[in-house]
């Protein structure tokens, strides 16, 4: 075959693949109008010789020859691939890899997407093996407590699938490769774009009847997709830094040469004041712990241990601190003052949770306000409140920053006041701390 003949052949293959993709696009658009914006924003291209279809977190790149062979095998396969990748994008799967084990996250996202497609129950995406997949998903749903990627992932971290089970999930659910998901720095614009699209789809679905398109799984996965996932480590480090200050290092800076230059040459010092050191101001803040019956002791211990470990990473953090660890349910039960590392060590080793009644956040804020008035703090930076969110919040904004830290998202829990910072911890962040 000549070079021209080969080029002509590749062009024909590409044209056929493009037609197949266009048919898939048109069918999905007609049957699922709530995905119209998402469909229009997902770039889909063909590239010969790839041997696989690749979703990089922003767009889909198909192998045209593979696509044609899949269409010949089962006409619904290209549409299934198109919808599979599209749901990866709107569910925000490609932008959460930094906090996940890739092998489990890849598998969990594929399963979640395929479960959603079965829930939608669209004829043009139906495959012969769907009944087998439905049976496996029924069991997994009971085990994982749901079929969102996050729930499936957490289940796999606890109950690691066997090699055989993983191979079966791959056979039934894998449609595309995710090899570029970890390169998020290249996808900043796409990240913002897909979050907006996800939020719009979520809003559109709320206006539809509950049974339209059988889209319950779409809604559930979108709820997970549009939630903010915070890095507690990064947040606490920023919180701690609020108590830091920098000043000229008198031991390294020569004032004689500096002032001589100013007196002799006007505004031209001979030595610029470039040497700085941290002025170890007292780091004042409060850690409040909800000890109501709904907060498990092991989880609280893991949170405190993680907080302690983050503090240790900061050089000289324990050199000068004034941290109060307050336990409270409907009233303040205990206040332990931490001024050095050994105090925190002793609390982690010997401290006991007290309370276990109902939850009221107001007594902690009232108590801290009293400490402020009594001069207990030099410069109180803020209060971290670890809780499940069920409680009575103060009506008035305090004079210091306040952050409520939740272990998991709970839409039925009361909303934090507008003046408060809301942090949702991932369970994965506490793994290994207990």
The answer to whether residue 432 scores a pLDDT higher than 70 is no
Residues 71 and 215 in one domain: yes
Dist CA 64 CA 45 (whole Å): 9
Dist CA 23 CA 120 (whole Å): 19
Read off the pLDDT band of 318 (50, 70, 90): low
Between 56-70, 171-185, 226-240, 252-266, the lowest mean confidence (pLDDT) is in: 252-266
Between 125-129, 145-149, 163-167, 310-314, the lowest mean confidence (pLDDT) is in: 310-314
Range 354-369 average pLDDT: 86
CATH number at residue 303: 3.40.50.410
| Beta strands at 60-62 and 54-55: parallel, antiparallel or unpaired | antiparallel
Residues 215 and 269 in one domain: no
User: What are the residues whose beta carbons fall under 8 Å from the beta carbon of 425, sequence distance 6 or more?
Assistant: 230, 232, 303, 405, 406, 407, 408
Dist CA 346 CA 348 (whole Å): 6
Residues 335 and 380 in one domain: yes
Condensed to tens digits (0 to 9), the pLDDT of residues 271-308 reads 554 444 444 455 788 999 988 755 666 778 888 888 88
pLDDT at 273: 47
The answer to whether residue 262 scores a pLDDT higher than 80 is no
The answer to whether residue 67 scores a pLDDT higher than 70 is yes
Higher model confidence: residue 48 or residue 192? 48
DSSP secondary structure of 62-88: E-HHHHHHHHHH-TTHHHHHHHHHHHH
Residues 258 and 305 in one domain: no
Exposure b/e, 181-209, CB count within 10 A at least 16 = b: beebeebeebeeebbebbebbbeebeeee
Dist CA 77 CA 97 (whole Å): 27
pLDDT at 250: 52
Long-range contacts (CB closer than 8 Å, 24 or more residues apart) made by 59-66: 60/85, 60/176, 62/17, 62/21, 64/13, 64/14, 64/16, 64/17, 64/18, 65/13, 65/17
pLDDT at 242: 56
Residues 349 and 206 in one domain: no
Residues 98 and 88 in one domain: yes
Residues 25 and 141 in one domain: yes
pLDDT at 46: 94
Dist CA 399 CA 25 (whole Å): 55
Residues 252 and 183 in one domain: no
Q: Provide the whole-model pTM.
A: 0.61
Looking at 268-356, list the stretches that DSSP marks H as alpha helix, in order from N- to C-terminal side: 297-313, 341-350
pLDDT at 115: 94
Higher model confidence: residue 157 or residue 273? 157
The answer to whether residue 263 scores a pLDDT higher than 70 is no
Dist CA 189 CA 183 (whole Å): 13
Between 126-140, 238-252, 265-279, 378-392, the lowest mean confidence (pLDDT) is in: 265-279
Condensed to tens digits (0 to 9), the pLDDT of residues 43-56 reads 899 999 999 999 88
Higher model confidence: residue 288 or residue 154? 288
pLDDT at 281: 54
Helix (H) or strand (E) holding 104: helix 102-120
Q: Are 114 and 130 in contact (CB under 8 A)?
A: no
Residues 118 and 63 in one domain: yes
Q: Residue 315 class from Cβ within 10 Å (0-12 exposed, 13-18 middle, 19+ buried)?
A: exposed
Condensed to tens digits (0 to 9), the pLDDT of residues 116-150 reads 999 989 999 999 999 999 999 999 999 988 898 88
Residues 259 and 182 in one domain: no
Q: Are 63 and 185 in contact (CB under 8 A)?
A: no
Beta bridge partners of 301: none
Dist CA 313 CA 398 (whole Å): 29
Per-residue tokens: 169:
């999930």
pLDDT at 426: 65
Tell me if residue 244 falls in helix, strand or coil.
Answer: coil
Residues 98 and 182 in one domain: yes
Half-sphere exposure of 19 (CA within 13 A, CB side): 9
Tell me if residue 429 falls in helix, strand or coil.
Answer: helix
Range 394-405 average pLDDT: 88
Chain centre to alpha carbon of residue 277: 35
Residues 63 and 112 in one domain: yes
Dist CA 426 CA 295 (whole Å): 16
The answer to whether residue 9 scores a pLDDT higher than 50 is yes
* Count: domains in the chain: 3
Q: Are 82 and 95 in contact (CB under 8 A)?
A: no
Portion of the chain with pLDDT greater than 90, in percent? 36
The answer to whether residue 26 scores a pLDDT higher than 90 is yes
Higher model confidence: residue 148 or residue 243? 148
Per-residue tokens: 201:
């789809």
Q: Residue 92 class from Cβ within 10 Å (0-12 exposed, 13-18 middle, 19+ buried)?
A: buried
pLDDT at 220: 78
Range 322-344 average pLDDT: 90
Dist CA 325 CA 232 (whole Å): 18
Range 236-245 average pLDDT: 63
Residue 109 vs residues 91, 93, 176, 178, 390: alpha-carbon distances, Å: 9, 7, 11, 10, 31
Q: Which range marks the domain in which residue 425 is found?
A: 233-244+281-430
48, 53, 54, 59 alpha-carbon torsion, rounded to 10°: 90
The answer to whether residue 37 scores a pLDDT higher than 80 is yes
Q: Residue 85 class from Cβ within 10 Å (0-12 exposed, 13-18 middle, 19+ buried)?
A: buried
Range 195-204 average pLDDT: 78
Read off the pLDDT band of 190 (50, 70, 90): low
């Amino acid at each position: 075959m000549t070079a021209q003949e080969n080029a002509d052949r590749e062009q024909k293959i590409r044209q056929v693949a493009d037609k197949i993709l266009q048919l898939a696009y048109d069918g999905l658009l007609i049957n699922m109008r709530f995905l119209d914006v998402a469909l229009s924003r997902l770039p889909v291209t063909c590239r010969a010789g790839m041997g696989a279809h690749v979703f990089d977190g922003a767009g889909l790149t198909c192998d045209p020859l593979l696509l044609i062979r899949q269409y010949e095998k089962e006409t619904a396969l290209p549409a299934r691939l198109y919808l599979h990748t599209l749901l990866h994008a709107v569910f925000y799967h490609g932008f959460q890899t930094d906090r996940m084990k890739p092998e489990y996250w890849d598998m969990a996202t594929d399963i979640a997407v395929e479960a959603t497609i079965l829930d939608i129950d669209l004829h043009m995406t139906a495959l012969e093996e769907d009944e087998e997949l439905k049976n496996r998903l029924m069991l997994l749903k009971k085990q994982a407590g749901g079929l969102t990627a996050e729930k499936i992932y957490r289940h796999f971290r606890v109950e690691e699938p066997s090699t055989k089970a993983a191979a079966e999930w791959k056979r039934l659910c894998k449609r595309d490769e995710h090899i570029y998901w970890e390169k998020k720095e290249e996808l900043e614009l796409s990240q913002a774009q897909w979050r907006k699209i996800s939020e719009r789809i979520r809003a559109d679905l709320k206006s539809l009847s509950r049974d339209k398109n059988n889209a319950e799984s779409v809604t559930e996965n979108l709820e997970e997709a549009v939630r903010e996932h915070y890095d507690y480590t990064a947040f606490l480090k920023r919180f701690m830094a609020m108590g830091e200050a920098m000043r000229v290092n008198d031991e390294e800076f020569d004032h004689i040469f500096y002032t001589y230059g100013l007196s002799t040459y006007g505004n031209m010092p001979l030595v610029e004041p470039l040497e700085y050191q941290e002025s170890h101001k007292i780091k004042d803040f409060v850690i409040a712990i909800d000890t109501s019956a709904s907060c498990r002791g092991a989880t609280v211990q893991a949170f405190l241990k993680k907080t302690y470990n983050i503090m240790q990473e900061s050089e000289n953090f324990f050199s000068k601190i004034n941290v109060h660890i307050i336990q409270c349910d409907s009233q303040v039960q205990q206040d332990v003052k931490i001024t050095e590392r050994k105090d925190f060590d002793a609390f982690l080793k010997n401290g006991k949770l007290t309370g276990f009644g109902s939850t009221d956040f107001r007594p902690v804020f009232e108590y801290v306000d009293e400490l402020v008035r009594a001069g207990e703090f030099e410069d109180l930076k803020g209060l971290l409140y670890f809780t499940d969110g069920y409680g009575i919040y103060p009506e008035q904004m305090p004079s210091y920053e306040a952050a409520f830290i939740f272990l998991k998202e709970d839409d039925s829990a009361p909303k934090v006041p507008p003046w408060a910072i809301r942090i949702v911890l991932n369970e994965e962040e506490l793994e290994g701390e207990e």
